[in-house]
Chains A and B, each alone.
Chain A
Amino acid sequence: MATNLKPADVVVVGLGAAGGVAVLPLTRGGLKVVGLEAGAWMNPAKDFKADEIHNNVRGMITTGNKIRREAPTFRAGPNQPAQRGAPSPMMNAVGGTSVHYHAQSWRLKPWDFKTATEVKKRYGASYIPKGSTLEDWPIGWDDIEPFYDIAEREVGVSGKAGNIQGKLDREGNIFEGPRQREYPMPHLRTCDYLEHMKQAARSLGWNPFHSPAAINSVAYNGHGACGYHGYCDRGGCHLQAKNSTCFSTIPKALQTKNLTVTDRAQVTRIVVDSNGHVTGVQYIRESQEYFQPAKAVLVGSYTYENVRLLLLSKSKAYPDGLGNNHGQVGKHYFGHWDAQAGAGVTALFPMDLNVWYGAILSQGVVIDEWADDSFDHGGMGFIGGASMTVNTEKHPIAAAASNTFGQAPQWGSKWKRWIHQNAGRWVSAYLQANSFPYENTVLDLDPEARDPLGDPVIRVTSGPKDNERQACLYAQDKMEEWFKAAGAIAVTKGNPTGPRLSTHTYGGTRMGDNPETSVVNRWGFSHEAPNLGLLGGSVFGTSGARNPTLTIQALAWRTADHLVKNWKAIAG
Chain B
Amino acid sequence: MPDEKPAGDLTRRTVIVTAAAAAFVPLSAIRSAAQTPAPQRVFSAEQKRTLEAFLDRLCPKDELGPGAVEIGAQDYIEVQLGDYLAPEKQTFLDGLAAVDAYARQSHGSPLADLSPEKRDQVLTDIDSGKAPQNARGFFNRARRLMLEGMFGDPHYGGNKNFAGWDLIGYPGPRLATGPEMQKMGAPIAPYHRSAWGNEHGGH
* Residues of A bordering B, CB below 8 Å: 5, 41, 44-46, 49-54, 57-58, 94-95, 189, 191-193, 196, 222-225, 227-231, 238-240, 246-247, 250-251, 254, 260-265, 285, 351-358, 392, 396-397, 399-401, 410-413, 415-417, 419-420, 423-424
Please state if A262 and B8 are interface contacts (CB–CB under 8 Å).
no
Please state if B60 and A413 are interface contacts (CB–CB under 8 Å).
yes
Please state if B2 and A247 are interface contacts (CB–CB under 8 Å).
no
- Min C-beta distance of A284 to chain B, whole Å: 12
- Min C-beta distance of A104 to chain B, whole Å: 20
Question: Does B31 make an interface contact (CB < 8 A)?
Answer: no
Question: Does B147 make an interface contact (CB < 8 A)?
Answer: yes
Question: Does B168 make an interface contact (CB < 8 A)?
Answer: yes
Cβ-defined partner of B186 (8 Å) among A52, A222, A354, A413:
A354
User: Which 7 A-B residue pairs are closest in the complex by CB-CB distance?
Assistant: A227-B176, A191-B182, A50-B173, A423-B168, A396-B170, A192-B184, A396-B151
- Min C-beta distance of B118 to chain A, whole Å: 14
Question: Does B104 make an interface contact (CB < 8 A)?
Answer: no
Please state if B196 and A51 are interface contacts (CB–CB under 8 Å).
yes
Measured between beta carbons, the chain A residues less than 8 angstroms from B58 are 411-412
Excluding A230-B173, A251-B7, 14 further A-B contacts by CB distance (< 8 Å) are A5-B1, A50-B200, A52-B153, A94-B7, A196-B184, A231-B173, A238-B14, A285-B2, A354-B183, A355-B182, A357-B181, A396-B165, A411-B143, A420-B168
Cβ-defined partner of B176 (8 Å) among A53, A229, A416, A420:
A229
With A352-B184, A355-B182, A411-B123 in contact, is A238–B17 under 8 Å at CB? yes
B1-37 near A? 1/0 per residue, CB < 8 Å: 1101111100101100110011000000000000000
Question: Does B201 make an interface contact (CB < 8 A)?
Answer: yes
B172-203 near A? 1/0 per residue, CB < 8 Å: 01111101011111101000000110001101
Main secondary structure of the interface of A (DSSP, over half): loop
User: Who on chain B is nearest to A227 by CB?
Assistant: B176
- Min C-beta distance of B61 to chain A, whole Å: 9
Measured between beta carbons, the chain B residues less than 8 angstroms from A54 are 153, 195
Question: Does B59 make an interface contact (CB < 8 A)?
Answer: yes
- Min C-beta distance of A402 to chain B, whole Å: 10
Measured between beta carbons, the chain B residues less than 8 angstroms from A231 are 173, 195
Please state if B201 and A46 are interface contacts (CB–CB under 8 Å).
yes
Please measure, in the bound complex, the distance between the C-alpha atom of A222 and the C-alpha atom of B8, giving whole angstroms. 10
With A396-B168, A412-B120 in contact, is A229–B184 under 8 Å at CB? no
Please measure, in the bound complex, the distance between the C-alpha atom of A191 and the C-alpha atom of B184, giving whole angstroms. 9
Measured between beta carbons, the chain B residues less than 8 angstroms from A423 are 168-170
With A53-B153, A228-B177, A413-B62 in contact, is A424–B14 under 8 Å at CB? no
Q: Give the interface size class of chain B.
A: 35 or more
Question: Does B57 make an interface contact (CB < 8 A)?
Answer: yes
Please state if A193 and B195 are interface contacts (CB–CB under 8 Å).
no
* Residues of B bordering A, CB below 8 Å: 1-2, 4-8, 11, 13-14, 17-18, 21-22, 57-60, 62, 64, 67, 84, 120, 123, 127, 143-144, 147-148, 150-153, 155-156, 164-165, 167-171, 173-177, 179, 181-186, 188, 195-196, 200-201, 203
Please state if A230 and B177 are interface contacts (CB–CB under 8 Å).
yes
User: Who on chain A is nearest to B182 by CB?
Assistant: A191
Measured between beta carbons, the chain B residues less than 8 angstroms from A415 are 59
Please state if A356 and B184 are interface contacts (CB–CB under 8 Å).
no
Cβ-defined partner of B148 (8 Å) among A230, A357, A397, A399:
A397
Please state if B148 and A41 are interface contacts (CB–CB under 8 Å).
no
Please state if B152 and A397 are interface contacts (CB–CB under 8 Å).
yes
Measured between beta carbons, the chain B residues less than 8 angstroms from A397 are 147-148, 151-152
Which of B59, B168, B185 has the most chain A CB atoms inside 10 A of its CB? B168
Please state if B179 and A189 are interface contacts (CB–CB under 8 Å).
yes
Please state if B167 and A419 are interface contacts (CB–CB under 8 Å).
yes
With A51-B196, A354-B185, A400-B168 in contact, is A45–B13 under 8 Å at CB? yes
Please measure, in the bound complex, the distance between the C-alpha atom of A314 and the C-alpha atom of B62, giving whole angstroms. 66
- Min C-beta distance of B144 to chain A, whole Å: 8
Please state if B184 and A254 are interface contacts (CB–CB under 8 Å).
no
Please state if A400 and B147 are interface contacts (CB–CB under 8 Å).
yes
Measured between beta carbons, the chain A residues less than 8 angstroms from B4 are 254, 260-262
Please measure, in the bound complex, the distance between the C-alpha atom of A54 and the C-alpha atom of B148, giving whole angstroms. 11
User: Who on chain B is nearest to A261 by CB?
Assistant: B4
With A51-B153, A354-B185 in contact, is A229–B168 under 8 Å at CB? no
Please measure, in the bound complex, the distance between the C-alpha atom of A442 and the C-alpha atom of B114, giving whole angstroms. 56
Measured between beta carbons, the chain B residues less than 8 angstroms from A191 are 179, 182-183
Cβ-defined partner of A411 (8 Å) among B127, B151, B152:
B127
23 intermolecular pairs with C-beta atoms under 8 Å apart: A44-B14, A49-B196, A54-B195, A193-B184, A196-B184, A225-B22, A238-B200, A238-B201, A240-B8, A247-B7, A254-B7, A351-B185, A354-B188, A357-B174, A397-B147, A399-B168, A400-B150, A412-B58, A416-B59, A416-B62, A417-B64, A419-B167, A420-B169
- Min C-beta distance of A382 to chain B, whole Å: 36
Please measure, in the bound complex, the distance between the C-alpha atom of A392 and the C-alpha atom of B182, giving whole angstroms. 9
Measured between beta carbons, the chain A residues less than 8 angstroms from B184 are 192-193, 196, 351-354
- Min C-beta distance of B177 to chain A, whole Å: 4
Which of B1, B177, B179 has the most chain A CB atoms inside 10 A of its CB? B177
Measured between beta carbons, the chain B residues less than 8 angstroms from A251 are 6-8
Please state if B21 and A224 are interface contacts (CB–CB under 8 Å).
yes
Measured between beta carbons, the chain A residues less than 8 angstroms from B84 are 58
Measured between beta carbons, the chain B residues less than 8 angstroms from A95 are 7
Measured between beta carbons, the chain A residues less than 8 angstroms from B57 are 411-412
Please state if A410 and B175 are interface contacts (CB–CB under 8 Å).
no
Which of B22, B151, B183, B186 has the most chain A CB atoms inside 10 A of its CB? B151
- Min C-beta distance of A394 to chain B, whole Å: 8
Please state if B62 and A193 are interface contacts (CB–CB under 8 Å).
no
Please measure, in the bound complex, the distance between the C-alpha atom of A95 and the C-alpha atom of B123, giving whole angstroms. 47
- Min C-beta distance of A323 to chain B, whole Å: 28
Please measure, in the bound complex, the distance between the C-alpha atom of A355 and the C-alpha atom of B67, giving whole angstroms. 25
Measured between beta carbons, the chain B residues less than 8 angstroms from A57 are 148, 152
Which of B7, B13, B22 has the most chain A CB atoms inside 10 A of its CB? B7
